[in-house]
Amino acid sequence: MSFVQNFPFFSIIIAMFSGIVSSVLDGKKARNLSLVMIAVTTALSAGTLAFCLGTGESYTFMMGHFPAPWGNEIRAGVLEGVTAVFFGVIMFLAVIGGLEHTAEDVEEKKLNLFYIMIDLMLSSLLALVYTNDLFTAYVFVEINTIAGCGLIMIRQKGRSMSAAIRYMIMSQLGSGLFLIGLSILYDVTGHLLMSPAKESVEMLVAEGSYRLPLLVIMAVIGVGLAIKSGLYPFHYWIPDTYGYATPTASAVLSGLVSKGYIFLLIKIFYRVLGYENLVSSQMANVLYVFGIVGMVMGSLHAIHETDTRRMTAYSSVAQIGYIYMGIGLGTSYGMVAAVFHIFTHSATKALLFISAVGLYEVSGDKKDYVSLRGAGYRNPLAGIGFTVGSLSMVGFPMLSGFISKLLFATSALESPHKMLPTLIVLAVSTTLNAVYFLRLVITLYSRRRPEDAPIPETVPRKSWHLRLAILCFIGVNLVLGLASQPIVQAITDGLAMFG
Amino acid sequence: MRLFECILLLCLVLCALSVAFTKDLLTSIIIFMSYSLIMCLIWMILQSPDLAITEAAVGAGVTSILFFLTLKKIRAIRKEGQDEQEEG
Amino acid sequence: MLQHLSLNIEETAAVILFGVGFTILLLHRNLIKKIMGMNVMDTATYLFLASKGYITGRAVPIVVDGVQEVEAYINPVPSGLVLTGIVVSVSTTALMLSLTIRLYERYHSLDLDEILIMAKEEEQT
Amino acid sequence: MSRRKDNYETSRWLKFKTWVDGETDPLSSGMDPTEVIPESRMRERRKDLARRKAYDEELTRIAAHHEGKTEIMKARGIRYFQKFYKVMSVILCLGIILVLLWTVSALPVTGNAGNPANNEVAARYIEKGLQETGAVNIVTGMILDYRAFDTFGESCVLFIASCCVLVLLRLDADSKNESIKKMIAESDDRHFEPKDDIILQKCACVLVPVIMIFGIYIVLNGHLSPGGGFSGGAVLGSGLILYLTAYGYRKMSRLFTEKVYRRTTLCALTFYCLAKSYSFFTGANHLESGIPLGTPGAILSSGLILPLNICVGLVVACTMYVFYTLFRKGGM
């Protein structure tokens, strides 16, 4: 066993440990520790990825002295490695970009608690990515939920607290469904680790026994995680939650937390329930329909909004719809597109939330269209960042959104029954995206009218953190857009390893 | 034993329903506490004493204390609001 | 079906409780009731899980007199899982109750719909 | 007919119904003089209703003023929505129950030894658990050795929940902010209860040592008998809470301050983290852990399980106590 193989385990434990230590540090030290920790874990994940790419296969890692069906396990492969590196990078940039605002929004003595939540959030995300055990997944889903709730309500405003309790209620509904699905699964298979559970599920499917429970398990686990990630009919908590948290929290929640759940769902579909069972039992079609409805309805809601942050949040609903549509296509190409869209969306949405901060700063902290008129001239870099993000969401060539739309379209061609609706909805949704994003971009670069209320003079902050974060996010977007080939290849290989 | 278990399970369902339908919060908290205690007995019957101890200490103990404290806090806040109204 | 359910009374009760708890959590308007509903839902799931480990006529999984036959003890796995789950549910309960207190201090109401409306108005003014 | 009506006024059913509806309190015979006089209670309720009504009117008025009819329609819509809620909730509840009952009817029968859940995993825990973990209580051995990663995650859940509660409820005692000072003054709700109640103190005097010893016993014997760190910790925590209610914060602060809390939690969790990392690391790399398991059944046995139980117990006891104090007055 080579030493590199310990890296996933190290990264989870380091993240947790720094969270525990932060409880006695003061705010600044906790912040520095947290930044160092994120960098270190990202490096470790990169090491894991390099190792997996080198050997070309995945491996499991025993957590303790006991092998597979008895002890806990984690598992690392190419897809896990890519996702972990990506989550680390996004987390780092989101924390860097929101540093000043975090320091303002959070009481000074409670600052270290904020970074504890960031640390534990990262560790739980990594654990969700690497886990090979269903119950471990449940425990870390709970950590993720509670940390997310902490990140929302740390601002201590009325609106963010009511958003937090709503988020908590919806998440608990999701966890309850997930746990009962897990219990039924344990009842029919007798295993909690993914690999032996999959063997038993395959056996049951071959025998044709317990057909109804297996269907219910798929439905319940799917719905539970869909509630948590905010698929369309369950999206009511999203706008408040993303709209009123502190910027780092919005970026992390929209970019990472919901994606962590979707990743877990994909993992469960592939590694436990079997993707072909999902397709043959029509559950895939259900997800597909929900995804399509979400794509259109989310965009329609976004057009109605006047508050730009809520608009961005509603656009998340639409993008989550894209991902579920990709899962529901029922082909491996569709799944590759869905996973690539996870990356695209988390990079782009984090960029939008972070660069929007720069725009609000120069518009007197107002978030409606009128106040933002001309903000692109007042803070050029943030304007460029926002424009790049918007164009990427719309699907402008060279940017990441274009590639994921291309992938969705080509994968739709593979499945004859769903080709036409997919292409139509893709076109409609892209048009709607263009409507609301380009409206905002045009607003940003239009001259202020004389009848507009004057903007309170604010000294533009010389925060290199924000600039650095925006630049890096733009870079990530360009990398995803221009050098997509190796990443798509890695996703394809990783998904093949899942099987 | 089977009959006893059936009765307990029935009580459990009744408790859950009455938690939903009672209007007074204090009453429903007390009903919830008894729900936990019944659950504790059921776990004893299901041969899991670990769970029974934990449920008795946590479900019927700590969780109920937290509920009572919340209620108390809320009443204190409500009372203050009233005093201010009467003064004003 | 009914006969099968009568053999599975623990699961039947657990499932009914799950439905009740889920509904309270989703649709009751009072926040404290919602939290209780969440607890009911969680314990129902634990009851479901724990009854999976029970085997008629076998004893508690604590080794007595060195007897280590499988036939002597019930399945220890669900007990362990439930033990973990109980901690999770008490943590979330404490968190949600503290949120409730803060919201009540601010809006003097326990009704979630009212709170949301008031929060929206507060934002606008 | 008329007779029945007369009886109804005094019937048990009416009493029960009013109690269920929360209009009367069966314990109203003077336990808490300020609280449960029905008159004041009703007044409170009426006031509450009046406030709510006023709020509704206000809402409609504002709505009419600002946006015209659409907002009124919205307010009316909310009311319809609430009726819709009740119907929906019954339908949803029955729907979930039916689907799950249908599933349950297809699941294996409870209590049958041949169920899929009772497979080789459970068999190994039972047959070899004693030799491999050293714990007589197989459940403890399982959660702290075979599946220790879950349990570590679980204590992190508790830790992060206590952090969140700290964020929400902690009020900084030496803060210079006026509003926070006011909040501290308001949140001290101790004047709503009897101070230095002699009955409570005498009872606590007898009960607290017993509870504490019971808690310590549960923690220390976690690997030998039912119980373990978590349940024992909760018992210890409730002992601390009882002591606090009987003797007040001042006496308690001699024993237990925020510093003590932070240090205890930090040390316990750090030890837990390091110990488990060591055992995960050695396990995964197939190294000998070198931790003696001792004779099964003795108190000093089963390797790391006993220290881990103590750690979990400490964390849980502190966390429960801190939850209590934060809920009461926002600090320690």
All structural domains of chain B with their residue ranges: 2-87
d(CA A126, CA A138): 13
D93 inside domain: yes
Q: Is pLDDT above 50 for C114?
A: yes
Residue-level pLDDT at D32: 40
For the segment A251-276, the average pLDDT, to the nearest whole number, is: 89
Centroid of chain to Cα A121: 12
Cβ neighbors of A432 (< 8 A, separation 6 or more) are A296, A299, A300, A302, A303, A318
Residue numbers in chain D where pLDDT is lower than 70: 1-11, 15-79, 81, 173-195, 332
The distance of A177 to chain C (nearest Cα, Å) reads 9
Q: Which of D242, D243, D316, D303 shows the shortest CA–CA distance to D276? A: D303
| pLDDT reported for residue B85 | 60
pLDDT at D34: 38
Structural domain of D64 = 38-105
Contact C75 D122 (CB under 8 A): yes
C28 or A217: which carries more pLDDT confidence?
A217
* Contact yes or no for D154 and C113 at CB 8 A: no
Chains B and A touch (3+ CB pairs under 8 A): no
All partners of chain C with 3 or more CB pairs under 8 angstroms: A, B, D
Report d(CA A102, CA D279) in Å as an integer.
37
Interchain pair D231, B58: CB under 8 A: yes
Given this model, what pLDDT does residue A448 score? 74
Closest CA to C49 of B48, A142, A70, A72: B48
Nearest to C13 among B13, B29, B73 (CB): B13
Chain B residues at the D interface, defined by Cβ less than 8 Å, are 18, 21-27, 48-50, 52-54, 57-58, 61-62, 65-66, 69-70, 72-73, 75-78, 80, 82, 85
* Residue B47: pLDDT over 70: yes
- Contact residues, chain D, for B57 at CB < 8 Å: 231, 234-235, 238
Closest residue in A to C85 (Cα) is A139
Work out the minimum CA distance from A8 to partner chain D, whole angstroms: 12
The pLDDT, as a whole number, for residue D35 is 38
How many angstroms away from the CA of C81 is the closest CA of chain B? 10
Nearest CA in chain D to B44: D226
Calculate how close chain A gets to C9, using CA atoms only, in Å. 15
Q: Which of A225, A333, A348, A205 is nearest to A287 (CA)?
A: A225
State residue D65's pLDDT score. 55
Helix (H, G, I), strand (E, B) or coil at D302: coil
Residues of chain C with C-beta less than 8 angstroms from the C-beta of B54: 83, 86
* Pair (D254, D144) in one structural domain: yes
- The beta-carbon neighbor of D234 closest among B62, B69, B70 is B62
CATH of the domain at C37: 1.10.287.3510
The reported pLDDT for the residue numbered A123 is 93
Q: What pLDDT does D48 receive?
A: 61
Is D156's CB within 8 Å of A212's CB?
Answer: no
Name the percent of chain B lying above pLDDT 90: 33
What pLDDT does A99 receive? 85
Dmax of chain B from CA atoms? Answer: 62
In this prediction, residue D31 carries a pLDDT of: 40
* Contacts of B among chains (3+ CB pairs under 8 A): C, D
Q: Kindly report the nearest CA distance between residue C116 and chain A, in angstroms.
A: 6
Are C62 and D118 an interchain contact pair (Cβ–Cβ within 8 Å)? no
Q: Find the CB nearest C18 among D100, D110, D230.
A: D100
**ipTM for this prediction:** 0.92
Which residues on chain A are in Cβ contact (under 8 Å) with D154? 139
The verdict on a CB contact (< 8 Å) between B61 and D328 is no
| Helix boundaries (H) for chain B | 2-21, 25-45, 49-54, 64-87
Number of domains making up chain C: 1
Q: What is the pLDDT of residue D49?
A: 63
pLDDT of residue A415: 79
- A20, A64, A120: residue with CB nearest D145: A64
- SS3 percent helix, strand, coil of chain C, rounded to 5, is 75, 5, 20
Domain of C17 in residue numbering reads as 2-124
Give pLDDT, residue A413: 87
Q: Give the integer Cα–Cα distance in Å for A78 and A94.
A: 24
D142 Cβ under 8 Å from any chain A Cβ: no
To probe the interface with C, which of B17, B70, B71 has the most C CB atoms within 10 Å?
Answer: B70
User: Does residue D8 fall inside a structural domain?
Assistant: no
Mutant choice from D143, D164, D169, D276 vs A, greatest count of A C-beta within 10 A: D164
- Rounded-to-integer distance, Cα D182 and Cα D199, Å: 33
How far apart are alpha carbons D294 and A116 in whole angstroms? 38
- The whole-number pLDDT of residue D30 equals 37
pLDDT tens digits for A53-106? 888 888 888 888 888 788 888 888 899 999 999 999 999 999 998 888 888 888
**Cβ pair D228:B50 closer than 8 A:** yes
- Contact yes or no, D with C (3+ CB pairs under 8 Å): yes
Partners of C21 on chain A (C-beta within 8 Å) are: 176
- Clarify whether residues D171 and D71 are in a common domain: no
D247's tokens: 């003797």
Q: Is residue A39 predicted with pLDDT exceeding 60?
A: yes
Mean pLDDT of chain A: 87
Contact call for B21 and D20, based on CB within 8 A: yes
Question: Which among A6, A61, A146 is the nearest to D160, CB-wise?
Answer: A146
Chain C residues with CB-CB distance to D170 below 8 A: none
Q: Are residues D178 and D229 in the same domain?
A: yes
How far C23 CA sits from the closest chain B CA (Å)? 9
- Mean pLDDT computed over A177-181: 93
Residue of C30, C78, C86 lying closest to B55 (CB–CB) = C86
Of B21, B62, B77, the CB nearest to D238: B62
Residues of chain B neighbouring C28 (CB-CB closer than 8 A): 20
Between CA D157 and CA A149 the distance in angstroms is: 13
Tell me what pLDDT residue C43 has.
Answer: 93
Q: Indicate if D166 and D310 belong to the same structural domain.
A: yes
Instruction: Name the helix (H) or strand (E) containing D38.
Output: helix D38-67
Q: Which of residues A64 and B15 earns the better pLDDT score? A: B15
pLDDT for D36: 37
Contact A399, A477 (CB under 8 A): yes
Characterize the bridge pairing of strands A72-76 and A59-63.
antiparallel
Question: Shortest CB distance from A139 goes to which of D102, D157, D172?
Answer: D157
Same domain, D62 and D202: no
Chain D residue numbers touching C51 (CB-CB < 8 A): 110
| pLDDT tens-place string over residues A339-376 | 999 999 999 999 998 888 888 888 777 777 777 787 88
Does an interface of 3+ CB pairs under 8 Å exist between C and A?
yes
Kindly report, residue by residue over A311-343, the tens digit of the pLDDT.
888 998 999 999 999 988 888 888 999 999 999
pLDDT at site D29:
41
Mark whether D288 and D170 lie in a shared domain: yes
Question: What CA–CA distance (Å, rounded) separates A274 from A271?
Answer: 6
Q: What distance in Å separates residue C29's CA from the closest CA in chain B? A: 11
Chain B nearest C-alpha distance from C125 (Å): 22
Q: Tell if the CB–CB gap between D163 and A117 is shorter than 8 Å.
A: yes
Is the pLDDT at A140 greater than 50? The verdict is yes
Where b means 16+ CB within 10 Å and e means fewer, C3-34 reads ebeeebbbbbbbbbbbbbbbbbbbbbebbbbb
Give the pLDDT confidence of C40-88 residue by residue, as tens digits.
999 999 999 988 888 888 888 888 877 778 788 888 889 999 999 999 9
- Point out the residue among B28, B55, B74 whose CB comes nearest to the CB of C36: B28
Q: Would you give the DSSP letter of residue D142?
A: I
